[in-house]
Copies of this chain bind each other. A is one copy, B any other.
Amino acid sequence: MTMLDASTNSLPDWLRRRAFSNPDRLAIICGDTQRTFSELDVDVDRAARWLASHEVVTGSRVAVHLPNSIAFVQLVHAISRLGAMLIPINLRLTGDEIGWQLGDVRADLLITGDLTAQLSAARDRLAPDTRAVVIDPHSPNFIGGASASPVFVESHATDEVHSIVYTSGTTGRPKGALLTYGNHWWSAIGSGLNLGTHVDDRWMAVLPLFHVGGLSILQRSVIYGITAVVHESFDPGRVNQSIDEDRVTIISVVSTMLRRMLAERGDAPYPEWLRCVLLGGGPAPEPLLRACESRDIPVTQTYGLTETASQLATLPPDEALLKLGSAGKPLYPNELEIEVDGQLAVRGLPGEIIVKGPIVTAGYFERPEETARAFEGGWFHTGDAGYLDDAGYLYVLDRRDDLIVSGGENVYPAEVEAVLMSHDDVTEAGVIGIPDEEWGQRVVAIITPRDDCSPDIAQLSEWCRRHIAAYKIPVDFAVQQNPLPRNAGGKLLRRELRRTWAPYPR
């Protein structure tokens, strides 16, 4: 019956379109640099010409190894304007790891801010065709004289790959998740339909742009037409000051950041325009949520993955305090379920979190087997454990690989950690399973003490006894002064804890 199809499987260049619709609106605040959408659009044209002079063409794979910076922002849009693919490189990787990743993705070009010994090691391992170029990421005019006249790509199919983002690697060898234009688009739309979008929103990107949690803020900026306030690194004082002075309305953080922000802020309230603190990177400790509640800080918990282009489930702002501890419901129009033994679980039963919908990765770069395994049965398997309550709210428990099985009982580390962290003497807690002849695994807790106090282990054990079942109570405790190991996204690396503490004597 229809004459034409309105399904629209191609999307125009988001930045170009915003520069047309709202040329004079502020697109970026990054240190001392501010850019309207039309100014950024011009910058990005120049950056794209510069990339073309480095032989970047449609389909090229361009690795970006830079701190959060105005150059990073320009490159993200310039790479897409050429129809090339962005491969953001984690700044915390060793030279060996970078070399492996560049080889795995067969990068055509590496753009970096420095060539330290670490990166030199990586260059030695580059594929023969990978070129490298060093720039000053903090100059909006990081580009020299060289300039080509490429053809700009005016629109992108929703299934075209925008970026290949390597998973943070809490388990196994990193894999490159293919994120399409459709993934990024639906992620922004789904988030907007949940959190709302305000014409005067300013979203702070203090998470690394090489992670999807930071990168997705740049996409929302050009899709919504709002300002991204980019910080090079996390400094609680500067973040708090920026919320006040740059009129930040939304900020994406992980628990450790938020805790440090609150400590730095003291008793001073946050301004009323701060309408959403989006808290991701793992289950949030309840004391932190309670502290925010008592201080009227609008915290909204979220659960996301690289493979879902960031948020997958997020509490709506008007329920943030009603459902403390939950990561909410899946973003429109995605679906989320819990799988146990290959079957969809009934409500309340913990199992593996699985997801379906347009935000889900198109697969892992050149990993057909791992892709097929992840998508078994048509659902994407997150590898994370959780359950849905009766109303369909998600509660995230753990990385499935971190699950402890002790005497046949399942122990979810995050649950035990939350109990420990609710004790006054504890700042951080990591709970792992250690091989045990009698029980298969035994539960071990590693904690960092609050301030310089020396926690009483017997007291902590008693604290646990009051809150959780006996089989979940740590058999052993270890106290360390250094912060617990986390990835750049703020996720606790229990694998690292196991490596350090596995030989811990009984």
Q: Does A183 contact B (CB under 8 A)?
A: yes
- In angstroms, Cα B360 to Cα A182, docked, is 21
Q: Does A161 contact B (CB under 8 A)?
A: yes
Given contacts A159-B2, A159-B7, A178-B2, contact A20 B329 (CB under 8 A): yes
Task: Tell me the residues in window 1-39 of chain A with beta carbons closer than 8 Å to chain B beta carbons.
Answer: 1-9, 11-12, 17, 20-23, 25
Q: Does A357 contact B (CB under 8 A)?
A: yes
> A150 — which chain B residues lie within 8 A by C-beta?
none
- Of B11, B183, B359, the residue contacting A333 (CB under 8 A) is B11
Q: Which residue of B lies closest to A194 (CB)?
A: B21
Say how many copies of this protein the assembly contains. 2
Q: Does A332 contact B (CB under 8 A)?
A: yes
Given contacts A195-B199, A197-B197, A316-B21, contact A159 B333 (CB under 8 A): no
Determine if A375 and B3 form an interchain contact, defined as CB atoms under 8 angstroms apart: yes
- Mask of A300-337 contacts with B, CB within 8 angstroms, 1/0: 00000000000000001111000000000100110000
> A413 — which chain B residues lie within 8 A by C-beta?
none
Determine if B3 and A362 form an interchain contact, defined as CB atoms under 8 angstroms apart: yes
Q: Which of A123-131, A185-193, A284-292, A415-423 lines the interface with chain B? A: A185-193
Determine if A363 and B183 form an interchain contact, defined as CB atoms under 8 angstroms apart: no
**In angstroms, how far is the closest chain B Cβ from the Cβ of A58?**
13
Determine if A392 and B20 form an interchain contact, defined as CB atoms under 8 angstroms apart: yes
Q: Does A196 contact B (CB under 8 A)?
A: yes
Given contacts A1-B161, A161-B1, A318-B25, contact A8 B199 (CB under 8 A): no
- Mask of A196-235 contacts with B, CB within 8 angstroms, 1/0: 1111110000000000000000000001110000000000
> A1 — which chain B residues lie within 8 A by C-beta?
161, 178, 362, 365
- In angstroms, Cα B17 to Cα A161, docked, is 29
Given contacts A23-B391, A198-B196, contact A6 B360 (CB under 8 A): yes
Determine if A7 and B158 form an interchain contact, defined as CB atoms under 8 angstroms apart: yes
Q: Does A68 contact B (CB under 8 A)?
A: no
- Of B3, B178, B223, B329, the residue contacting A193 (CB under 8 A) is B223
- In angstroms, Cα B181 to Cα A333, docked, is 14
Determine if B3 and A363 form an interchain contact, defined as CB atoms under 8 angstroms apart: yes
- Of B180, B198, B199, the residue contacting A6 (CB under 8 A) is B180
- In angstroms, Cα B22 to Cα A210, docked, is 33
Chain B CB count within 10 A is highest, among A5, A180, A186, A193, for A193
- Mask of A51-80 contacts with B, CB within 8 angstroms, 1/0: 000000000000000000000000000000
Determine if B21 and A199 form an interchain contact, defined as CB atoms under 8 angstroms apart: no
Task: Tell me the residues in window 321-372 of chain A with beta carbons closer than 8 Å to chain B beta carbons.
Answer: 329, 332-333, 357-360, 362-363, 365, 368, 371
Chain B CB count within 10 A is highest, among A1, A161, A316, for A1
- In angstroms, Cα B365 to Cα A180, docked, is 36
- In angstroms, Cα B195 to Cα A423, docked, is 46
- Of B8, B161, B329, the residue contacting A186 (CB under 8 A) is B8
**In angstroms, how far is the closest chain B Cβ from the Cβ of A148?**
25
Determine if A193 and B186 form an interchain contact, defined as CB atoms under 8 angstroms apart: no
Determine if A196 and B193 form an interchain contact, defined as CB atoms under 8 angstroms apart: no
> A8 — which chain B residues lie within 8 A by C-beta?
158, 182, 186, 333, 357-358
> A362 — which chain B residues lie within 8 A by C-beta?
1-6
Determine if B17 and A333 form an interchain contact, defined as CB atoms under 8 angstroms apart: yes
Determine if A189 and B189 form an interchain contact, defined as CB atoms under 8 angstroms apart: yes
> A193 — which chain B residues lie within 8 A by C-beta?
192, 197, 223-225
Q: List 16 A-B contacts (CB under 8 A).
A: A2-B159, A2-B161, A5-B159, A5-B362, A6-B180, A6-B186, A7-B182, A8-B357, A8-B358, A20-B329, A22-B316, A23-B391, A25-B318, A193-B197, A195-B199, A197-B197
Given A6-B359, A193-B197, 9 more contacts at CB 8 Å? Answer: A1-B362, A2-B180, A4-B363, A5-B159, A6-B159, A7-B358, A17-B333, A21-B194, A199-B317
Binding site for B on A (CB under 8 A): 1-9, 11-12, 17, 20-23, 25, 157-159, 161, 178, 180, 182-183, 186, 189, 192-201, 223-225, 316-319, 329, 332-333, 357-360, 362-363, 365, 368, 371, 375, 391-392
